[in-house]
Amino acid sequence: MDAVTIILATCVVAGLYTAWNIGANDVANAMGTSVGSGALTLRHAIVVAVVFELAGAVLAGGNVTRTLSDGIVSTAALGDDPMLLAIGMTCCLIAASVWLHLATTAGWPVSTTQSVVGAVLGFGLWLGGFQGVDWTILGRIGLSWLVSPILGGFFAFQLVSFIQRRVINAPDSVHALRTIGPILTFVMAFAITFATIYEGAIPSPLTFEAPEAVVIAAAVGCVGALIVRFVLVRRSALLGPGSDVDRAERLFLVLQVLTACYVAFAHGSNDVANAAGPMAAVFAAVRDGVTDDIHVPFNVLLIGAFGIVLGLATFGFRVMATIGREITALTPSRGFSAELAAATTIITASVLGIPVSTTHTLVGAVVGVGLARSIGALNLRVLRGIAGSWLATIPFTAALAAALVALASLLT
Amino acid sequence: MRIPLANLLVKSPLPRVGELMTAVRTCADKVPDLIDHLVRADQAGVERLAKETSILEGKADEVKNRARAEMPVRLFLPVDRRDLLRLVSQIDAIADCAEDVGVLLTLRPLTVPEGMRPYLAEFVEHVMHTVAAADDLVRILDPLVKAGFGGSTAEQALALVDELGRREHEADKRQDQCAKALFRAEASMPPVAIFMWTKVLNKIGDMANHSENVGDQFRLFVAR
């Protein structure tokens, strides 16, 4: 076996393991709220996750993948040795995998995104010292980790307050939801369509410039809103007895099926890149040598998506069942608000090509709902754990990746 | 497993408040029986009921302790944690007073002065009305969280608080009538009996006072 085959094989295995981790833990975190409220059964949640994770990864995951494959490490530091890039990125995947395995075993709330970004940072530092890293992009990524949970929380707070005022505390909640539901559906359909057709990393006949993309996305949004309006009107006739608010909450379950798809799509568009980004760099280096602009191979996104599905099928359903049991505290309208707010934040980051943490954004959104006085109790100790994992992840994966590259370069 | 969401969303201690109110109500409901036996001069019955009240108060205490144990400092609640703890103590205080009424009646066998009889039964009835209003209010805690402490549910809660205040006022008036009747009979009663009766009347009245405090706590919940 030659060195290239060994590197490619190692890279795919480590990439698959990272993707498996994402599927096993992160997807379950993202979709647990829908399972907990009873909008989806466990089985349906897995089907939704598989379909929309794949769609998100393939249709809108290109920008983040590209950022992770060639945005952080500066090309100047790489010189003209494609093997160095291939080995380095493979080491990054191994370092991230090791950290994720450790964290998962210990139950630390670390982010897959941060693990991979930390590892790539370590590789860049080993390569060219301070000059080996594009600090503008890294600064933007670091800032987004702070901004995305806060933004998710802010949106969720506004959304849940709005829903409380306009739906839950309205004189006729069910009727109000039949009007508000389609409007919120418009937002989701618009975001998904825009993220798909706006000039992504994968050139296709479906790619459009901003003005056209907005018009098309708005059109799709309107169609989606009309369909949901139709469904809501039909469903509200079949709600059965109960108080107006309870009936409205049950009607929210219909909308929560949509947010579950939306979250899965958002997650796929942002997090598949964690596994696919470094793999894309390795594949491109082996095929094309060092280039400034890595073309993301389609099959790399597919490998990432496949790993995620594998993680879901083997382990993720158990995590989802656990969350589903715990999250009964979230009524459908609150789960809906948190998911819509978090996923919109994540999709926006995906379009901008910024890798953010889905779970942390969702945690931010749930805290936002809590700030609107709508959740029985939140354990804020978790936030400290997340902050701690933030501080631990980057140094660990960076150091490990650098050490692994140093070792590998000694051997070759 | 890395599942921060499951750790974030912990079990709410709010249902415990309803559970505590149920336990306290069961305990407080013994007081009319106690007074009934006292009026019929059935001291054995009074002793038995006092013991029952004491046991029921112990059960309410258990629920209270569980509720407090579920409220660690890092818990983020839709209401101020200290306000919630105060609510729990006020509800619990109702049961404490009920138990004290039983204890006082066993310390020294008391007879009901003839002139106080009609007022006493009415007084106890109004106190129990007040406790019932506090119970109604506690039942609305869950719908309040569902409505985010706003809208018609909040108005409904405030209306219940007002009703609670009215009932407490009515109970107060009956307590004054009882006291007046007591002091009208002071010439024919031993001073120690007067002293004990004052204490008993105050304890029964305190059940209504603590119920009213429950209402005040709810006013704070809605106002925040």
Predicted complex ipTM: 0.84
The answer to whether residue B187 neighbours chain A at the CB level (below 8 Å) is no
> With a CB-CB cutoff of 8 Å, which residues 214-253 of chain A face chain B?
245, 249
Mean pLDDT value of segment B149-163: 92
Question: For residue A329, which residues of chain B lie inside 8 Å, CB to CB?
Answer: 9-12
In angstroms, rounded to a whole number, what is the distance separating the alpha carbons of residues A189 and B110?
77
Residue A76 neighbours by CB distance under 10 Å: 12
CB A161 within 8 A of CB A368: no
- Domain limits of chain B? 14-71+78-223
In angstroms, rounded to a whole number, what is the distance separating the alpha carbons of residues B84 and B26?
21
Closest CA to A277 of A57, A55, A67, A22: A67
The answer to whether residue A311 neighbours chain B at the CB level (below 8 Å) is no
The answer to whether residue A35 neighbours chain B at the CB level (below 8 Å) is no
The answer to whether residue A29 neighbours chain B at the CB level (below 8 Å) is yes
Q: What is the pLDDT of residue A116?
A: 94
- For the record, the structure tokens of A153 come out as 């929380």
Q: What is the pLDDT of residue A329?
A: 72
- For the record, the structure tokens of A139 come out as 């600064």
Measured between CA atoms, the residue of chain B closest to residue A249 is B146
CB A271 within 8 A of CB A31: no
Q: What is the pLDDT of residue A308?
A: 87
Q: Which pLDDT band holds residue B58 (cuts at 50, 70, 90)? A: very high
Question: For residue A169, which residues of chain B lie inside 8 Å, CB to CB?
Answer: 147-148, 150-153
Q: Are B2 and A329 within 8 A, CB to CB? A: no
Q: What is the pLDDT of residue A199?
A: 67
CB-nearest to B5 from A29, A104, A331 is A29
The proportion of chain B whose per-residue pLDDT surpasses 70, expressed as a percent, equals: 100
Q: Which helix (H) or strand (E) holds A15?
A: helix A3-21
Question: For residue B156, which residues of chain A lie inside 8 Å, CB to CB?
Answer: none
Half-sphere exposure of A255 (CA within 13 A, CB side): 34
In angstroms, rounded to a whole number, what is the distance separating the alpha carbons of residues A323 and B140?
28
Q: What is the pLDDT of residue B223?
A: 84
Give the architecture-level CATH label for domain B14-71+78-223.
Answer: Up-down Bundle (1.20)
Rounded to a whole number of angstroms, the distance from the CA of B211 to the nearest CA of chain A is 23
Q: Are B8 and A110 within 8 A, CB to CB? A: no
Closest CA to A17 of A306, A268, A299: A306
Measured between CA atoms, the residue of chain B closest to residue A375 is B78
In angstroms, rounded to a whole number, what is the distance separating the alpha carbons of residues A340 and A368?
12
pLDDT tens across the length of chain A (412 residues): 577 888 889 999 999 999 999 888 888 888 888 888 888 888 898 889 889 988 888 888 888 888 888 888 877 777 777 888 889 999 999 999 999 999 988 888 899 999 999 999 999 999 888 888 889 999 999 999 999 999 999 999 999 999 999 998 888 999 999 999 999 999 999 988 888 888 654 555 567 777 888 888 999 999 999 999 999 999 888 888 888 888 999 999 999 999 999 999 999 999 988 999 899 888 888 887 666 666 677 788 888 888 988 888 888 888 888 877 776 678 899 999 999 999 999 999 998 889 999 989 999 999 999 999 888 888 888 888 888 888 899 999 999 999 999 998 888 7
Q: Are B148 and A381 within 8 A, CB to CB? A: no
Rounded to 5°, the CA angle A301-A302-A303 comes to 90
Q: What is the pLDDT of residue A328?
A: 67
The answer to whether residue B223 neighbours chain A at the CB level (below 8 Å) is no
Q: Is pLDDT larger for residue A67 or for residue B93? A: B93
